[in-house]
A and B are shown apart, each in its own frame.
Chain A
Amino acid sequence: MESEPILVVENIKKAFGSRVILKGVSMAIRRGELKVLIGPSGAGKSTFLQCINFLVTPDAGEIRLEGRPIHHSRKRELYAYRQQVGMIFQDFNLFDHLTALDNVMIGLVRVKGMDRKSARERAMAEIERVGLKEHAGHYPAQLSGGQKQRISIARALAMDPKVMLLDEPTSALDPELIGEVLAVIRDLVANGMTMVMATHQIGFSRAMANEIIFMEDGLIVEQGPPSVILSDARCERTKEFCSKITELYGEAS
């Protein structure tokens, strides 16, 4: 494994008015790693992920991709950076007016300037990769939640991201549909995708994550390998939270 991290996030702070959400969060991730963010709602996991690709503009802090600091006020640089950082949302956010295929194609055509034919081929390849070839012509409203999330993963993958941010990708899904999405994510891990994922899927995290980061009140409370965080956490609060979600979400991955 390389020693140089691909993405470094340093001392991110964010407040909405007088409400402080992030009080200085840092993280460094190496190529091919999966880091899992856990913590109670309101801990700032979602805001932290959105700060990483500047969907929320951090008040302070620095982000470096492959050693280069990102200046988010330079529009061109920002748009180019976002293409390299894929984002998966809890509620999918597929473009409602486009078919699954067009959802995956649109970024290739509009942002990457690819011609429609190559874009279509690339998009179909990604859709096949998530196992939804026969649904390519369907609109989001005609897909199940699990299928929507898999298409949204295909949409992000088509842009050839260097890092992917997943914001509770299975939280809006019926229990029966969670497995199909986790299978796709597991496949990404196996293929060496670098990912930061907020999730409550504790069994999955135990099996797949390189590191689990426990956040609360806008700060990282504790971080370490799953075996330590989930079974042998130093901090009392981490232990309490982990035993609660283990009870709730079980061991099955």
Chain B
Amino acid sequence: MDELLFLQDEVVPALLKGLRVSILLIVPSAFFGLFIGILVGALRVYGSRPVVFAADIYVTIFRGIPLVVQLFIWYFGLPYLGIYLSPFTASIVGFSLCSGAYHSEYIRGALKSIKRGQMLAAQALGFSKFQMVVSVILPQGLRRALPGCGNEIIYLIKYSSLAYMVTCIELTGEAKILASHSFKYTEVYLAAGGFYLGLVSIAGWILHRLERRVAIPGFEHHRG
């Protein structure tokens, strides 16, 4: 009985507060991350040599350095340059840039899989390279990248828990505070885990719906 009351009166309200912050972190980060990923992914396939080089360096750095370290740099490192970010902003910047690097890889693969004939046809009609990428290649490539990008967004939901390392108290942060006060680590973290599972399930469902919605007629996967 005690346990239930503890869950109802302390765990759930604290975690709901944290959940709100988590969602406020995840949604813009997913949006910006995807935007950066599309831009960088397209530049890596269709950019000029120096642009490709710069984009590759971006991906190498942001995929290569652990996210926690990146967050520390944004939050604790930038003040040395006179730039002060709030914990919340630092987290969004860190998540977006890291997520963008991963997204760009899925996007790059998808763009490269578009048949050359699609490009020839666009060029033959008089499309500029930019028009061709925007109106012909990206609409097809993004559909192919969707499962991979969806995967990255699911990851983002979970690595958003690192925000508490730079004192942005979201779901995991609230859970940690509550657990260390109450010493009920198992219960609190299990509940927090359940919240993440719920978030991921909802995101997965939305992504699946989206995938079905944008499927091109005649290209659907048919179950044999």
Instruction: List residues of chain A with CB under 8 Å of any chain B CB.
Output: 50, 53, 55, 75, 79-83, 85-87, 89, 91-97, 106-107, 110-111, 138-142, 152, 155-156, 159
Interchain CB contact (< 8 A) of A79 among B121, B126, B135, B143: B126
User: With A106-B135, A110-B131 known to touch, is A55 a contact of B216 (CB < 8 Å)?
Assistant: no
Q: Name which residue of chain A comes closest to B140, CB basis.
A: A97
The 6 A-B residue pairs with the shortest CB-CB distance in the complex, in nearest-first order: A141-B218, A83-B126, A93-B121, A87-B124, A93-B117, A107-B125
Q: Nearest CB to that of B129 among chain A residues?
A: A75
- A55 and B120 form a contact (CB under 8 A): yes
Fill in one digit per residue for B123-145: 1 if any A CB lies within 8 Å of its CB, else 0: 11111100100011001100100
Provided the pairs A79-B128, A110-B131 are in contact, do residues A96 and B219 lie with their beta carbons within 8 angstroms?
yes
Do A159 and B120 have beta carbons less than 8 Å apart?
Answer: no
The residue in chain A whose Cβ has the minimal distance to the Cβ of B139 is A97
Given A93-B117, A93-B118, A139-B217, A110-B135 contact (CB < 8 Å): yes
B residues near A75, Cβ cutoff 8 Å: 128
Chain B residues near A50 (CB-CB < 8 A): 120
Nearest B-chain residue to A109, judged by Cβ: B135
Q: Is the CB of B124 within 8 A of A82?
A: yes
| A/B pair count, beta carbons within 8 Å | 77
User: Which of B121, B139, B140, B217 lies at the interface centre, i.e. has the most chain A CB atoms within 10 A of its CB?
Assistant: B121
Query: When chains A and B are docked, how far (Å) is the Cα of A140 from the Cα of B121?
Result: 14
Distance from B145 Cβ to chain A, minimum over Cβ atoms (Å)? 13
Instruction: State the CA gap A227–B135 with chains docked (Å).
Output: 46
Pairs across A and B, CB under 8 Å, 10 listed: A75-B128, A82-B125, A85-B124, A87-B124, A93-B118, A96-B216, A97-B143, A106-B136, A111-B125, A111-B126
Distance A107 CA – B124 CA, assembled complex (angstroms): 10
Contacts of B218 in A (CB 8 A): 139-142
Q: In chain B between 81 and 121, which residues have their CB closer than 8 angstroms to a CB of chain A?
A: 115, 117-118, 120-121
Most buried by A among B123, B124, B135: B124
* B219-A141 in contact (CB<8A): yes
Q: How far is the CA of A141 from the CA of B216 in the complex (A)?
A: 9
Contact A89 B125 (CB under 8 A): no
Give the shortest distance, in Å, between A79 (CB) and chain B (any CB).
5
List of A residues within 8 angstroms of B135 by Cβ: 106, 110
Q: Is the CB of A91 within 8 A of B117?
A: yes
- Chain B residues bordering chain A, tally (CB within 8 A): 22
* Chain B residues in 8 Å Cβ range of A85: 124
Interface flags for B48-72 (1: CB within 8 Å of A; 0: not) read: 0000000000000000000000000
CA distance A67 to B141 in the complex (A): 40
Complex CA–CA separation, A142 to B143 (angstroms):
18
Of chain A, the residue at the smallest CB distance from B143 is: A97
Determine if B120 and A107 form an interchain contact, defined as CB atoms under 8 angstroms apart. Answer: no
Q: List B contacts of A82 (CB < 8 A).
A: 123-126
CB neighbours (8 Å) of A159 from chain B are 125-126
Chain B residues near A93: list those with CB within 8 A.
115, 117-118, 120-121
User: Residue among A107, A156, A159 with the most chain B CB within 10 A?
Assistant: A107
Contact for A97 among B117, B123, B127, B216, CB less than 8 A: B216
Query: Given the interface contacts A91-B117, A95-B118, A97-B139, does A53 sit within 8 Å of B124 by beta carbon?
Result: yes
Q: Which of B133-176 contact A (CB under 8 A)?
A: 135-136, 139-140, 143
Q: How far is the CB of B52 from chain A (nearest CB, A)?
A: 20
CA distance A50 to B217 in the complex (A): 31
Q: CA–CA, A156 to B123, complex, Å?
A: 12
Which residues on A sit within 8 Å (CB–CB) of B139?
97
CB <8 Å contact, A110 and B120: no
The complex places the Cα of A156 from the Cα of B121 at a distance, in Å, of 10
Q: A93-B117, A140-B218 are in contact. Are A110 and B127 (CB under 8 A)?
A: yes
**Minimum C-beta distance from A66 to chain B (A):** 17
Looking at B117, B118, B125, B131, the one whose CB has the most chain A CB atoms below 10 A away is B125
